[in-house]
Structure 1
Amino acid sequence: MSPQARVLRSWMLTATMLGGCARVGPDFQPQHEAWSGQWSSEAIGRASEQRAQPDLRQWWQVFGDPVLERLIAESNANDAGVRIAGLRVMEARAQLGMALAGRYPQMQQASADAMYVHSRQSGPTAQTSRVWEYSAGVDIGWELDFWGRFARAIESADAAYFAAQANREDVLVLLHAQLAQTYYALRTAEARVRIARENARLQKRSYEITERLFKAGESDELDLQQAKTQYFGTLSSIPELERQIALSRNAVAILLGRPPGPVPELLGAPEKEGVLPRIDRAILQDVPANLLLRRPDIRAAEFQIAAQSAQIGVAKADLYPSLTLVGSIGWSASSLPGTQNGLLLVGGPSLRWNIFDYGRIHNNVRVQDARLQQLIIAYQNDVRVAARQADDAASGLIKALEREEILREAAHSAERSLTLANALFREGYSDFQRVLDAQRALFAQQDAYLVNRSNAVSYLIDLYKALGGGWYTEQPTVDAATREQMRQRTDWGDLLTEPPRTPTSPFNATAMPARASGHE
């Protein structure tokens, strides 16, 4: 082995041995409060049961609605929010690759020169010379990660990458809940229109009867005007409900990645329209405390804490001297006769220490620490808010189910009352006012029953959302068409391949940087 090769080998070995000797700054610590590990809710206990199916990741299967399932599958592929969140995952993956570059020589410069020299000397012995001179060299500087600056930067970028993945899953949770809420709001409005039209038909018949009786002199005008008022009042509710249908339909179209307009999947046979699911309780696979801490937004907040914790170490590394191994390899040659080609190898350590920083570095460490504490407090508050949302939704579901039984009985009684009122009026044992009162009560109770069923469905969806359900999708992080478009524009290497799944905690994100960045 040549002396130059031995020097270079020793230089590389020294860099490997000294790099990453220590890591300044705090290691990530979980910030779970004591209550969050054992938290339970009486309301959630009453509103749910533990069963294996359906999986909380796809809670909408509890409704058994194939139309909703098809809409959710399409929204996963086409919703703009989900697609943008997937691209942010790829952005974070590329930023992790940038951080990983700190493992390798940070300063590299290669140069090559060729120079032609033509000279002519005047005088009795005039001479002309033509000489080519060549040179090439490489300058390398490798800062040893003695204090863990680059290791902490990789740690921070790795946590930020998995936070981006968790944020995408949170977008899916919100999308699925919003789509289901909008879908059933549309179905509720359709059912209310149908009820309004049926009641308007009954009331129109009464209005026509009173009109004939009034013209025949067998009834006073009061009955006529009251019947007319009730009929047109019911008719007036229909346009507003139809407006709600149009708004919900447009909202569904946008969530599917379509322009506003008709959604053929929502059209069904008249007897099928407006059907709302009958629900009992939520299906959960774990205790509420564990489900809360596995919520994608809670996991994202925890990864953000891990990322910021590592930034303190990056800032603290500036307090200490940096040791850089610098070296140059050069070669020079000339076409001038009698000259020799030369190889130059220079290497050695370089020590830099920013002693007079006037508090800038210390204050930067304090800035990073204050940001970490902000994230810790925000995380703890997010967990409390999540628990409140779950408890509120469970309480709402319980009360809606209790009210449903009452309203069902009230609707049956109102229907029976109308039948009796019509019979008594025809037999002459009652005036028409009782018929009008019974019609008004029937419409009000039927409409209230539908609205309450819709509220129960909405509370159930809110409960699943509050517990972090619905983050699963079979769609890739970036769809094939977008990947191809990006590859044609930029060399992405293997970064656009499907990344590994998000771990449940920063403690599970070990040995992830190489895989997450797409480099093995």
Structure 2
Amino acid sequence: MKRSPILLLPVLLAGCAWLAPTYHRPQMPMPDKWGTAQTAATPDDSTWWRSYGDPVLDGLVDEALKNNDDLALAGAKLQQARAQYKYAFANQLPSISVAGADAYGRVHLKDELPTPHRMSNLGFVGGMLNYEVDLWGKNASLSKAAKAGVRAAGYGHAAARLSIAAATAKLYFSLRALDSERDILQRTIQTQTELLALVQRQHEVGAVDALAVQNVTEQLDAAQAALPDVEDQRGKAESALAVMLGRSPEQIIGQAMDRGKNIDELTIPIPTPPEIPSTLLERRPDIAMHEQTLIASNFNIGFARAAYFPTISLASLAGVNNIDIDNLYRATTRSWTLAA
């Protein structure tokens, strides 16, 4: 037991990312102050679509954020990045393993030897402690790269969430606009039909010539020809919105999309100021994601450099063994080993 402090040596040796280059954010020449006197603060509203005051739109966006496959994929990538970080962080810690063995057999010797022929057992139970001395920062660099990967995946998930919410709102408003366009065409067709009947009666009594009838007929034909195209666009927009919501094909075909308030009744959100500081770009999750990816690549350089150097590992073994497994814990011998 006098040499037991040697077992603490792996804990006292810790590695640093010495070979990884220091990350410096690229600096852009920016003005010392904002050019205009008015600077409006832009709120970081993660539920910006609720400012329109349409409960149907709110429900559709919530459904998309819950069921969209792209967002689920981004969430799975985030979980994968977290698992990789836990694995990389665990490599910096000592590993403990337990082993046991039991052998049963008999050795046949020559008859003239006095050794009796008897069955024998050989049992062993012990534990091993392994630790890699991270002198060159290989494991530390890998852990920091994985940590930056977790941040990048988190920003990627936020970017996917923002993109899906925006796409859902855009498809919803496009669908509402096509609804309005269809209603206008239907009212136009009805008006032109009534006008054509009136002009035809006027033509019969000689009040107008045939050219007037022809003009009204052409306007009616143009409106009727435009209606199928609008109906087709409306159906495609409704199907695209249903796919964005993660609905099944049966729901896409058999379930009509809900409609909320009329376009004229929606609340108009406060518009974004035309002049805002460029530093707001740092709040974009896609830009932050790419920066974290750059940081992870920076630490991967340190990992690759450290891989050129020798690996130093320490191992210690302790256990008990006995020639009779039944009396293992009353061991006839005790052993321990420390190796590097």
**TM-score category (smaller protein):** 0.7 to 0.9
The residue number in structure 1 matching 2:80 is: 91
Q: Which of 14, 18, 42 matches 1:19?
A: 14
What corresponds to 1:144 in structure 2? 133
- Which among 4, 7, 15 is matched to residue 3 of structure 2? 7
2:258 equivalent among 266, 275, 296: 266
Alignment of 1:250 onto 2:239:
yes
Among 57, 60, 63, the alignment partner of 2:46 is: 57
Whole-angstrom CA distance in 1 between matches of 2:32 and 2:306: 35
Say whether residues 1:68 and 2:64 are aligned partners. Answer: no
Q: Sort the Cα spacing of 1:57 and 1:290 in 2 relative to 1 into closer, same or farther, 3 A.
A: farther
Residue-by-residue CA offset, 1:61-101 (whole Å, 9 max, x unaligned):
33222211111111111111111211111111111111012
Match of 1:29 in 2: 24
Structure having the higher helix fraction is 1
TM-score in terms of structure 1 length: 0.57
Q: Is the 8 A contact 2:123 2:323 kept in 1?
A: yes
**Residues 280 and 61 (structure 1 numbering): CA distance in 2 closer, same or farther, change over 3 Å?**
closer
Deviations 1:126-164 (A, max 9, x none): 943222222344444321011211111110001101111
Q: 1:11: how far off?
A: 2.2
**249-258 or 159-168: which moved more?**
249-258
Q: 1:219 is aligned with what amino acid?
A: V
Distance in 2 between the 1:200 and 1:21 partners? 77
Deviation of the 1:302 alpha carbon: 0.9
Unaligned runs of 5+ in 2: 326-330
SS of the residue aligned with 1:71? helix
Matched to 2:321, the amino acid is S
2:3 counterpart letter in structure 1: V
TM-score by length of 2: 0.85
* Residue 7 of structure 1, CA deviation: 2.6
Q: Aligned residue for 1:310?
A: 299
**Whole-Å separation in 2 of the counterparts to 1:180 and 1:251:** 12
Which letter maps to 2:338?
Answer: G
| Code of the aligned partner of 1:9 | P
| Counterpart position of 1:185 | 174
Q: CA RMSD in A?
A: 3.2
**1:329 corresponding residue in structure 2:** 318
Contiguous gaps of at least 5 residues in structure 1: 350-520
Indicate which of 323, 335, 339 corresponds to 1:344.
Answer: 335
The offset of 1:308, in angstroms, is 0.8
For 1:256 and 1:37, locate their aligned partners in 2 and report how far apart those are by CA, in whole Å: 45
Are the aligned partners of 1:67 and 1:265 in contact in 2 as well (CA < 8 Å)? no
Distance 1:249 1:324, change over 3 A: same
The question of whether the paired residues in 1 share the 8 Å contact of 2:315 and 2:339 is answered with: yes
Q: Secondary structure at the match of 1:132?
A: strand
Identity %: 24
In the TM superposition, 1:231-246 aligns within 5 A as: 231-246=220-235
CA distance 1:28–1:36, shift in 2 (3 Å): farther
Quick one: higher RCO (CA 8 Å, sep 6+), 1 or 2? 2
CA distance, structure 1, for counterparts of residue 29 and residue 113 of structure 2: 100
Displacement of 1:303: 0.7
State whether structure 2 residue 192 is matched by structure 1 residue 203.
Answer: yes
Query: Residues 234-260 of structure 1: CA distance to partner in whole angstroms, max 9, x if unpaired?
Result: 122112112222111111211222132
Give distance in 1, aligned partners of 2:11 and 2:235: 66
User: Taking structure 1 as reference, are residues 38 and 17 closer, same or farther at Cα in structure 2, changes over 3 Å only?
Assistant: farther
Q: Does residue 1:165 correspond to 2:161, yes or no?
A: no
Aligned 8 A contact 1:37 1:290 in 2 = no
